[in-house]
Structure 1
Amino acid sequence: MMYEVDDTLFISVPAEDETDNPWLKGAFRPQGREYSVSGEHLKIIGKVPDDLNGIYIRNSHNNAQMPMGIYHPFDGDGMLHAMRFDAGKVEYRNKFVRTTGFLAEQGAKKSLWPGILQPNNYQRRGWGSMGVMKDNAGTDVIAHAGHVIASMSQGSEPWCLSPTTLETFGVNKNWASMVPDGLASHYKVDNETGDMIFFNYPEKAPFMNYGVINRDDKMVHYVPIELPGARWPHDLGMTKNYSILHDLPYFYNPEMLRNGTRKLEFHKEMPSRFGIIPRFGRTEDVRWFEAKPCWVMHLSNCFEDGDWVVQDGCIWDNPVKPPVDDPNDVYAKIARQLDKQATHTHMYRWMFNMRTGEVKEFSLDDEVTEFPIVSNDFVGLKNRYSYNSIFSSHDWVMDGLKRYDLFSNTAVRYEYGPGRFGSEVCVAMKDGFTYEDDAYVVTFLNDMVQDQSECVIFDAAHIEAGPVCTIILPERISAGTHACWVEADRIDGENRQLTDNYWEINAN
């Protein structure tokens, strides 16, 4: 196998047989080598589609140093994995995100910041809403204005990287200094206008900020959003004219937080609040709607339908943590927290009437799924399909893929098979697409039996038929977090060339 590798990296994590931490072994085993491999050196099963053009990029928490204290799978250093498709040719590469924290620990050759479970053990200033962790940039990744942006969920510097080489450019030179509370996942990009909307949620008043970056990578809007107290949101919604902000009753105990102790609690006596704000609105323009108590990790899509603003996503209607057999088993507690079956995470719809104030909400499916995805070209617009990951019972790995047809209320699925676990999928529209699922679904799979990773490509209209092409990666990669698709005409900037009948496709 031919590859390029950076030999200057200092990677110090235990071998799988030297640790009892399940988040540093098995599907979560950290990877230390950075590859750059062209298609001629990759094993390809099937034919790479000629009308698939762009880059699939997936993030992951890939720890580079022995952790300081208890290691949680959200603590690891960000590592991006990318597969580029160009007229039937492919290229794979992966790189650590060179954040300030990563480089500091490379120099020290040890961990310098604690993880999410032990924030009070910090010895130096950190990042995120808590302000004590390393900015690992390992959660989200989105393309905008000619670069990809990687961040961690709590809010981090907007780390910009090349979509083609994954080289870290540094924090965004145009507007990073204007967001001292950072950039939280999940930011959204409007492919029509090139706008990117984002938010953050510091532990100090006003407790949330909301902003818009335009297609030229200039901050054109940034305003405080006044909340009753510190919150722990994870996502936000976007439609053609509005953004949807979340004030949910799953947050740190306020009294304990004042004393420096962070204990997440589900306040089941409080309603959920969803704030709908015009894209360039201010806190006084937010219209708040109440719904049943819940928590929401990931949205599928939001859109406007007459007087209604519709939000589809995966609801946690039972965020209460069930007990574990051994209260001193910290790894069992982490596993319980991540178990999607325990929180009954499933597809759900909220509808907010902007004229009457009415709220409707109901389940779209009872099966546990998460990481719901639609095509970039339909984000913020009425969509027919959502592609969700099926999660293993009592384990934080993705067993398969489920496609929802939201018009006919039907679904089809594809299960990856024993010992095969997926990543967040992306929908890549075919060149000159003429309907919404005239596309491919792309993801990375880990095969634990064969000890290998694959990039697999499905026909979006027929996922149940299995992959049309499989590309074997040079090494088995760690289980990951979020992914993005960068269309070929968006690699250098917000230059998406929509087809002539695009609006007709959306209308139907």
Structure 2
Amino acid sequence: MTDTAVPIEAPANRYLRDNFAPVREELTATDLTVTGHLPEHLDGRYLRIGPNPIDDPGDQHHWFLGEGMVHGVRLRDGQAQWYRNRWVRAAGVAEALGEPVRGTPGELDFAANTNVLEHHGKTLALVESGLPPYELTHDLDTVGPCDFDGTLPSVPGRPGYSAHPHRDPDTGELHALSYSWMRGNRLTYSVLGTDGRIRRSVDVEAHGSPMVHDFALTEHFAVILDLPVTFDIKAATADTPRLQRPFVRGVLNRVIGRNPLPEPVIARIARGAGGPSLPYHWNPDYPARIGLLPRDAEGDAVRWFEIDPCYVFHTLNAYEDGDTVVVDVVRHARMFATELTGPNEGPATMTRFTLDLRTGRVSESSLDQRSQEFPRHDERLTGRRHRYGWAVGFEDGVPGDSVLRHDLTAGTTASRHLGADMEASEFCFVPHPDGTAEDDGVLLGYVHDRSDGRSQLRVLDAETLEDVATVLLPGRVPAGFHGNWAPEGTDPGDL
């Protein structure tokens, strides 16, 4: 007899196959192979996070809902000392791994999966929509939920935190805009001090209950994006038993935009209502607008500017220019209208909104028509006029092999193709300590090599996009979200 191999069918859900497929092993590797030459000034960790479901979530799974896994490489003295990948141990992850629960999670708990950064000596894994950050050790093990020394309680009366805080380069403080379906039309603008405590928090009213993934910061304003992807009560309750559905929807209707319920009640509703799908969908009847909130004002001081319907996951940067405010973003024509498992509604392009403070009008102009995402800039210029920006080219809704460099003064874009078998991810900019030019530095990002199924940490020259060094990793880093450079002994939150 001859053994016959039975082919294993790939998941129907595109966000569970190819480089979106989760990895199942946590690895620790030391003395990694390096080609090229790692700059001697790179002394720290490159950290990046993304969804990595710990169990099979099924074909209706939404990419944004996988439990977070952090991947890190430690660079020092021209060497790559280690690579580690670790699940964020929220309560459910710890229990699935047969481990004790870290810290004291609240009723609403999730393994943060969207961003990871260093502030006030803490490595923080971040997520949005009313859920708290998780603190990690230097070696990426989980400490537990972080409430900023009790200044950010995880209760419906106040949301958790944001996936996209922005650091003021003058003060080192983190500014954030938080949202949550539990709070309806109330967004929260907060300032996290260099002492690791929230020192300022004000509420802003949106039209309804929007998904606010990112915002922008200028010297005097928080730039708020109130756009037509909103909480969908019917979608959130689709998996609720039919006889219970009217009651649950009635309760949610009383919550959305009105008084919040106690946390245990909302947690019970959320556990029965969420399912594998993201309950935020395109809402064609929802007005699109950009708000300017003075950084030292109360929430009712926000000034709104109407724009054409669109959606923005990520801002590049924003700045004030006389009587105008310039906001550079990656613009999607719509989001979660027909594709409900991930962000795949057509090309997204680099776009500039210019808000006229005298007339209240907004002009919109295209900066680059190539499909792209994950824009980054020199964060020493956050809220200030910038010339350069970098992004990753997308193909058919997934990351391609190209890295883009935008010169917004010259109006040109350079593109570097890494190779046909390569799949890029977000690259962050790290300035040279002695550099004087805005683009004098390197870009750090993970790249997946489909030819051998493993990933690399690529170091590119930020000006030319040419290779500086490559660190070979022992496994695959799946397509994920955001990463940052965490320099050793120089925490920007301690400025």
TM-score tier, shorter chain, comes to 0.7 to 0.9
> Which of residues 118, 122, 125 is equivalent to 1:143?
118
Aligned to 1:33: 25
> Which of residues 63, 73, 97 is equivalent to 1:73?
63
Aligned to 1:237: 216
| 2:33 and 2:80 in contact (8 A); partners too | no
| 2:280 and 2:336 in contact (8 A); partners too | no
> Which of residues 197, 207, 216 is equivalent to 1:228?
207
**Structure 1 residues without counterparts, runs of 5 or longer:** 1-14, 110-124, 128-133, 323-332, 497-508
Aligned to 1:5: none
| 2:67 and 2:88 in contact (8 A); partners too | yes
- For the pair 1:160 / 2:159, whether they are aligned, the reply is no
Q: Deviations over 1:121-142 (max 9, x none)?
A: xxxx964xxxxxx612111223
Structure 1 residue 18, shift from structure 2 partner: 6.3
Aligned to 1:121: none
Aligned to 1:450: 452
Structure 1 residue 157, shift from structure 2 partner: 0.9
Give the secondary structure class of the aligned counterpart of 2:463. Answer: helix
| 1:158 and 1:176 in contact (8 A); partners too | no
Structure 1 segment 80-479 matched on structure 2, within 5 A: 80-91=70-81, 92-107=83-98, 127=108, 135-162=110-137, 164-172=138-146, 173-175=148-150, 177-180=152-155, 181-203=159-181, 204-253=183-232, 258=249, 264-268=280-284, 270-319=286-335, 321=337, 333-334=339-340, 337-339=342-344, 342-393=345-396, 395-463=397-465, 465=466, 467-479=467-479
Structure 1 residue 254, shift from structure 2 partner: 6.8
CA 1:186–1:70: 2 relative to 1, 3 Å: same
Structure 1 residue 384, shift from structure 2 partner: 0.7
Structure 1 residue 443, shift from structure 2 partner: 0.6
| 1:426 and 1:484 in contact (8 A); partners too | yes
Q: Which amino acid aligns with 2:331?
A: I
Q: Deviations over 1:234-259 (max 9, x none)?
A: 11111122211121122245788755
The share of aligned pairs that are identical, in percent, is 28
| 2:152 and 2:160 in contact (8 A); partners too | no
CA 1:16–1:83: 2 relative to 1, 3 Å: farther
Structure 1 residue 307, shift from structure 2 partner: 2.2
Task: Give the distance between the partners of 1:58 and 1:224, measured in 2 at CA.
Answer: 30
- What do you get for the CA RMSD once the two structures are aligned? 2.7
| 1:197 and 1:212 in contact (8 A); partners too | yes
| 2:119 and 2:494 in contact (8 A); partners too | no
Structure 1 residue 355, shift from structure 2 partner: 4.0
Task: Give the distance between the partners of 2:95 and 2:27, measured in 1 at CA.
Answer: 22
Structure 1 residue 457, shift from structure 2 partner: 0.5
**Structure 2 residues without counterparts, runs of 5 or longer:** 1-5, 101-105, 237-248, 253-272
Q: Which amino acid aligns with 2:129?
A: Q
Q: Which amino acid aligns with 2:51?
A: H
Task: Give the distance between the partners of 1:347 and 1:232, measured in 2 at CA.
Answer: 20
Q: Which amino acid aligns with 1:230?
A: S
CA 1:206–1:271: 2 relative to 1, 3 Å: closer
Give the secondary structure class of the aligned counterpart of 1:101. Answer: helix
Aligned to 2:245: none
Structure with the bigger percentage of strand: 2
Q: Which amino acid aligns with 2:87?
A: F
Aligned to 1:330: none
Task: Give the distance between the partners of 1:357 and 1:489, measured in 2 at CA.
Answer: 45
TM-score, with length taken from structure 2: 0.82
CA 1:443–1:291: 2 relative to 1, 3 Å: same
Structure 1 residue 69, shift from structure 2 partner: 7.2
Give the secondary structure class of the aligned counterpart of 2:19. Answer: helix
Task: Give the distance between the partners of 1:470 and 1:16, measured in 2 at CA.
Answer: 35
Task: Give the distance between the partners of 1:220 and 1:105, measured in 2 at CA.
Answer: 37
Q: Which amino acid aligns with 1:54?
A: G
| 1:421 and 1:446 in contact (8 A); partners too | yes
| 1:16 and 1:26 in contact (8 A); partners too | no
CA 1:291–1:400: 2 relative to 1, 3 Å: same
Task: Give the distance between the partners of 2:378 and 2:123, measured in 1 at CA.
Answer: 17
| 1:56 and 1:82 in contact (8 A); partners too | yes
| 1:441 and 1:459 in contact (8 A); partners too | yes
Task: Give the distance between the partners of 1:390 and 1:288, measured in 2 at CA.
Answer: 31
Q: Deviations over 1:169-188 (max 9, x none)?
A: 22225146435321132111
Q: Which amino acid aligns with 2:84?
A: R
- Compare 16-25 and 197-206 and name the one that shifted more: 16-25
How many equivalent pairs are there?
441
| 1:53 and 1:431 in contact (8 A); partners too | no
Structure 1 residue 389, shift from structure 2 partner: 0.6
Aligned to 2:54: 64
